[in-house]
C-alpha cells in the first residue's frame, strides 16, 4: 500500500519578473517502509518538491496536483490537521543542520519540542525519550545539555535526525542530509539513516544530487531534470544502467572507486541546467544531450516504459519500446 502518492504535482513560484515553473507534473509513489531517492542537479526542483509535501513553501509558491499522505490530500488539509501531521506523521531533515537548529537552545530541549507540542509526552517522559533518541543516533545522553555550536557537523545532523524520529513518524523526508559533511562522517550518517529506517519501518524520501548515495540507501530512484521526473526505477538499475542520457551523465559524475561499470560510463555533463523561466522547447535536456536527434528540439516525450518497473522520458526509449 502506498504511504505517499504524488499525482501530477506542479509548483510555480510567482516573482516580480514572471513565473518560475520549479516542479512540473511529477507523479511518484512511495510504499510503506520503502525508500525513494530523488536525484538531480542544483535547481532541478528537488527541494521545492520536498517542501511541497509538507506545505512548507513560501506564499509566492502555487502548488497543483494531488499529494496523498496515507490517503489524505495534504494540499486540501486544514491548517490544524497539517500541523498535526508535521513531525508526528511526516518529518523533514534539512540540508546543513546548522540552519535547522536554534543556536541558543540546548539540543535536548529542541529534540523534546515536537513531543511536547504534539502532546505526546509530559516533560519527564520527554526527557527520557530524548536520551533514548540520542542513543538511537549514536550520541550519549549528556549531549542533551549541549548547544548546537558545541557539536560537530555530523553530531548536529544526528540531532536533526533524532528530532525527525521523535514522534515516530511513518515518513521521513531527508533533503541532502549529508551534503555539508566530510566523506567519513557522511558515510556514518548514511549508515545511521539506513539502519533507522529499516529498524523502525519508516518510509524515506531522500533527496540528493549524488546518485551513488541514493543508490546505496534507496530502493527506488527518480531522476529530475528541469522540474520533471525523467527516469524512474529500481535504484541499482537506474544507477548502473540508466536509460535516460541525463541519468547516465549524472551517474558518471560520481564514479564509484574500483567499479568497472562507472568507469565505462560517459563523462560528466557539460553546460548548465536551463533557466526554468526560459526552458528550451521540446525535451528540456536536448541542448546538453549527447544523443539528441533533430526531433528532440520540438518533441517533449512523456515517461515511457523502459523495462520492468522502469520508465524514462527519452525519444530513444520510446523508439525501442515501439520497435519491440
Ligand X SMILES: Nc1ncnc2c1ncn2[C@@H]1O[C@H](COP(=O)(O)OP(=O)(O)OP(=O)(O)O)[C@@H](O)[C@H]1O
Rounded to whole angstroms, the Cα distance separating 302 from 106 reads 49
Return the residue of 66, 106, 209, 320 that touches ligand X, per CB under 6 A: 209
Q: Which of residues 275-294 bind ligand X (CB under 6 A)?
A: 276
Q: Is 13 in the site for ligand X (CB under 6 A)?
A: yes
20 binds ligand X (CB under 6 A): yes
Identify the helix (H) or strand (E) that includes residue 39. strand 35-39
Q: Is 148 in the site for ligand X (CB under 6 A)?
A: no
Q: 58 or 260: whose CB is closer to ligand X?
A: 58
- C-beta of residue 152 within 8 angstroms of C-beta of residue 168: no
Among residues 199, 195, 125, which one has the least CA distance to residue 158?
195
| Number of neighbouring beta carbons within 10 Å of residue 237 | 18
Give the cell for residue 271: 553546460
Nearer to ligand X, 111 or 222 (CB): 222
Query: CA-CA distance, 151 to 41, in Å (whole number)?
Result: 30
Of 13 and 246, the one with the shorter C-beta distance to ligand X is 13
Asked if 42 interacts with ligand X (CB under 6 A), we say yes
- Could you tell me the smallest distance in angstroms from the CB atom of residue 60 to ligand X? 6
Which of 234, 186, 233 has its CA nearest to residue 208?
A: 186
Place of cell 562522517: 185
User: What are the CA-CA distances from residue 225 to residues 271, 313, 323 (Å)?
Assistant: 13, 10, 26
Which one of 36-44, 75-83, 99-107, 158-166 is the stretch in contact with ligand X (CB under 6 A)?
36-44
Contact flag: residue 177 with ligand X (CB under 6 A): no
Candidates 40-48, 159-167, 195-203, 240-248 — which segment interacts with ligand X by CB under 6 A?
Answer: 40-48
> Between 40 and 177, whose beta carbon lies closer to ligand X?
40
Distance of alpha carbon 297 from alpha carbon 285, whole angstroms: 9
Nearer to ligand X, 28 or 165 (CB): 28
**19 or 72, CB closer to ligand X?**
19
Q: How far is the CB of 46 from ligand X (least distance, A)?
A: 4
Q: At what angle do helices 153-165 and 107-117 cross, to 10 degrees?
A: 20
Q: Which positions touch ligand X (CB under 6 A)?
A: 13, 15, 20, 22, 40, 42-48, 58, 209, 276
Amino acid at each position: 500500500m502506498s504511504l505517499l502518492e504524488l499525482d501530477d504535482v506542479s509548483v510555480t513560484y510567482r516573482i516580480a519578473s514572471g513565473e518560475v515553473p520549479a516542479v512540473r507534473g511529477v507523479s511518484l509513489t512511495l510504499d510503506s517502509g520503502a525508500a525513494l531517492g530523488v536525484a538531480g542537479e542544483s535547481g532541478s526542483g528537488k527541494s521545492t518538491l520536498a517542501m511541497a509535501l509538507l506545505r512548507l513553501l513560501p506564499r509566492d509558491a502555487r502548488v497543483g496536483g494531488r499529494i496523498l499522505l496515507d490517503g489524505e490530500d495534504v494540499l486540501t488539509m486544514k491548517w490544524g490537521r497539517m500541523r498535526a501531521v508535521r513531525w508526528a506523521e511526516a518529518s523533514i531533515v534539512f540540508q546543513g543542520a546548522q540552519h535547522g537548529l536554534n543556536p541558543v537552545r540546548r539540543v535536548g530541549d529542541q529534540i523534546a519540542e515536537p513531543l511536547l507540542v504534539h502532546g505526546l509526552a509530559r516533560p519527564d517522559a520527554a526527557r527520557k525519550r530524548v536520551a533514548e533518541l540520542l542513543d538511537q543516533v549514536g550520541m550519549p545522553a549528556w549531549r542533551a545539555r549541549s548547544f548546537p555550536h558545541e557539536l560537530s557537523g555530523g553530531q548536529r545532523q544526528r540531532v536533526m535526525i533524532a528530532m525527525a524520529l521523535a514522534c515516530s513518524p511513518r515518513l521521513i523526508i531527508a533533503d541532502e542530509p549529508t551534503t555539508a559533511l566530510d566523506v567519513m562522517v557522511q558515510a556514518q550518517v548514511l549508515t545511521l539513516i539506513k539502519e533507522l529506517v529499516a529498524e523502525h519501518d519508516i518510509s524515506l524520501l531522500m533527496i540528493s544530487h549524488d546518485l551513488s548515495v541514493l543508490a546505496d540507501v534507496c530502493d527506488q530512484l527518480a531522476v529530475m531534470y528541469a522540474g520533471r521526473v525523467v527516469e524512474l526505477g529500481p535504484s541499482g538499475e537506474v544507477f548502473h544502467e540508466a536509460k535516460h542520457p541525463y541519468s547516465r551523465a549524472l551517474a558518471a559524475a560520481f564514479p564509484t572507486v574500483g567499479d568497472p561499470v562507472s568507469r565505462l560510463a560517459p563523462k560528466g555533463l557539460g553546460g548548465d541546467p536551463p533557466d526554468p523561466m526560459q526552458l528550451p522547447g521540446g525535451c528540456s535536456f536536448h541542448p546538453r544531450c549527447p544523443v539528441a536527434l533533430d526531433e528532440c528540439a520540438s518533441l517533449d516525450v512523456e515517461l515511457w516504459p523502459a523495462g520492468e518497473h522502469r520508465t524514462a522520458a527519452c525519444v530513444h526509449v520510446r523508439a525501442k519500446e515501439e520497435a519491440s
